Structure 1
């Protein structure tokens, strides 16, 4: 489930996994796969050790909220609208609460998710800036204090809510943690992995 995080300029925004059968993350209207997020974060931390650094990330974008869909209705199985509705038609919410865990093998459904993203959204490059002077990170139009950016990283490390099934993390998440712990610099200062 995506959770609410405070941006410094746009108020509360949603970030996170939205279906346990896929490794796709949403950041409001942007969608990117978790392994890409992890690689991007590591590269950003390594490149911005000593200075402000700007790059761009390739993401999928669905600008119209009605085309994104209604997550809560899809979870309940009462209405399947937009992109999220199509995902839940294919990968329904589990009937047993104990089965509500993020699946580390979600990447195996990548081809289907790319097909759906192509149908509902568009590929877009978004600017990403790690600003050493202000200790902020911006992703597209969303500006985050360093501490909130750490929360996004910690969310992916944990497997979001409901956490990784059996606490088994995909290799790319483990590699992100190891790389960030070694990165040093202002962007990773204070980052802990619970």
Structure 2
């Protein structure tokens, strides 16, 4: 389930996994596979310049109605938009104990990316780390270091409900290893346990 996180630019915004069968995450109207998010973090962890800038490839859903209604999809009553279509393929589990983020969700990537293309366009957005003012930008969203680190912790933990059996995909483990070895101030104080 996506949770609310504090941004400097837009106040509280949604970020996170929205279906346990896929590793796709959302950041408001941006969508990207967690595998890509972790790769971007691994790359950033290798950098230690006052300013670091690159681009992220994400899917941009411009109309809110094309995103869908997460709670309606979970309850099986509203399958509009991208999220609704995902829940048609992968309904919410009937048993609460089965509600765990599946580490093999990345295997559905091709299917999910084919589906999202009906609702979104692939775009390049800037990712900027500015060490002087301790700010991080993802597209139009601006975070301080502490809030940004919460996004990384969320992906590490498997969000809410956490990774199934505490088993993480290899790309998440690689991100952890890179972040823990990093000299980049963005990751100072970040503990992934």
> Normalising TM by the smaller chain, what interval?
over 0.9
SS of alignment partner, residue 117 of structure 2: helix
**Equivalences for residues 114-193 of structure 1 within 5 A:** 114-193=113-192
1:56-95 → structure 2 map (5 Å cutoff): 56-95=55-94
Q: Give the drift of 1:40.
A: 0.3
Shift of 1:108: 1.0
TM-score for both structures, normalised by structure 1: 0.98
State the shift of 1:46 in Å.
1.8
Give the distance between the partners of 1:78 and 1:124, measured in 2 at CA.
31
Runs of 4+ in structure 1 over 6 Å off:
none
SS in 1 for 2:9: coil
Q: State the SS of the aligned residue for 2:186.
A: coil
**Maintained 8 Å contact 2:45/2:178:** no
Q: Conserved in 1, the CA contact under 8 Å of 2:24 and 2:32? A: yes
What's the CA shift for 1:18? 0.3
Could you state the TM-score of these two structures normalised by the residue count of structure 2? 0.98
Contact 2:149 2:190 (8 Å CA) reproduced? yes
- Partner residue, 2:29: 29
Query: In the TM superposition, what whole-angstrom CA distance separates every residue of 1:59-97 from its partner, at most 9, and x where no partner exists?
Result: 011011001000010001111110000000010000000
Q: Unpaired segments of 5 or more residues in structure 1? A: none
Q: Which runs of 5+ in 2 are unaligned?
A: none
The Cα shift of 1:45 comes to 2.5
* Pairwise CA distance, 1:136: 1.2
